[in-house]
Chain A
């Protein structure tokens, strides 16, 4: 018993040390290099600090969320019932909050802006754009399936199914809202290398939010099936749950760490969708 408590104390101490280091410590050089590699971004004297500040802000908030996820669970349920899912929830909330805290480029003495509209498609591939809405859709479909199949599994708890569905949809909405905030973060005109870094930062944020939102909402799907008591009784549901349980984290990891060149800020606005239309009759 004493040994268990000793291990827990050491674990808590290590967690506290790692959290403190992430909050106030320096960003390792390899992290900046990894970021530059993922986005094919040349790090210059002008944009180096920009990337370091971004990495420091996101690391600080994500780690704080992660640690809070553990601390809250320990406080509520005790140290023996640590659920990785809720720890991930804490990390995700920290990641979303970090996006609100990331500083935008300085406007300088003369405010200027590009007339090029920023779109989600500029920063995320098609699969990434549909990751969160698709998982939210799956969450709704699973709810429908659980309700329809309730007569075959009357021991299932439909209230819990609905609660997990609400949580899954809520997580999806948080991810989509955070993506929207990232897209709207001001981008005044600046030096090309700073604009490239700003675009790379947006792209990184979008990828992480899409991947984390998808995996977290996907976790709720598994919990829905479990709450409905369908798992281990329905072969199709078991296969589906396995696919969601393993497939989504793998897809999320691929999406989050997929190399994505920074969006090149054009000096011209987006081209018309079609050729200029013929003159309209007066």
Chain B
């Protein structure tokens, strides 16, 4: 399971980490009880400040996705089936919004007109090749 940072993205690094870990938890790739790496380890591996990763973990904790324990560190929190349903849907909506924001930021940066961007998305969704 890998976390990847896009340094060119307008999305702040802590949010990129949070979104990716949340998506993994939502999809079940990170099952409840799974240990996440210590903050210092992840920060060192990604070349980020400790506070950046700590913020991502805090956000995940406040969303009830992970729990921090003194002995075991940060682990994926257990969830009820009802929570699982609602949280998966919420995660999906949030991920969609993030993807759209990221896409929009990229098209703006590249100077692509809105109708061209929409055409590219339509082409991708209809199964054709995305417009270059």
Contacts and interface: CB of A to CB of B under 8 A. Distances in A.
A246 B74 CA distance: 43
A78 interface: no
Contacts of B37: 113-118
Given A114-B2, A272-B31, A280 B44 contact: no
Contacts of A281: 80
Contacts of A272: 31-35, 75-76
Majority secondary structure of chain A interface residues (helix, strand, loop or mixed):
loop
B2 A189 contact: yes
Given A110-B7, A267-B1, A277-B32, A188 B45 contact: yes
B6 A269 contact: no
Contact of A113 (B2, B24, B82, B83): B2
A202 to B, nearest CB: 12
Nearest to B48: A111
Nearest to B33: A272
Contacts of A184: 40-41, 44
A278 B78 CA distance: 8
A80 B4 CA distance: 59
Contacts of B75: 272
Interface in A168-196: 183-189
B73 interface: yes
Nearest to A275: B33
Contacts of B36: 115, 117, 269
Contacts of A114: 1-3, 37, 45
A187 B34 CA distance: 20
A276 B78 contact: yes
Contacts of A270: 34-35
B75 to A, nearest CB: 8
Interface string B73-100: 1011011111100000000000000000
Nearest to B32: A276
Contacts of B24: 115
A271 B34 contact: yes
Most chain B beta-carbon contacts within 10 A, residue among A114, A187, A271? A114
Interface string B29-66: 01111111110111011111000000000000000000
A279 B80 contact: yes
A107 B42 CA distance: 13
A187 B5 contact: no
B21 interface: yes
Contacts of B46: 107, 111-113, 188
A150 to B, nearest CB: 40
B4 A117 contact: no
B21 A115 contact: yes
A107 B7 CA distance: 12
Interface string A102-128: 000001011111111110000000000
Contact of A279 (B34, B72, B78): B78
Interface of A: 107, 109-118, 183-189, 267-274, 276-282
Given A110-B4, A268-B1, 17 more contacts: A107-B47, A109-B7, A111-B47, A112-B3, A114-B37, A115-B1, A115-B36, A116-B1, A184-B41, A186-B47, A187-B45, A189-B4, A272-B32, A273-B33, A276-B33, A277-B32, A281-B80
Chain A to chain B: the 3 pairs with minimum beta-carbon distance, closest first = A272-B33, A113-B45, A112-B4
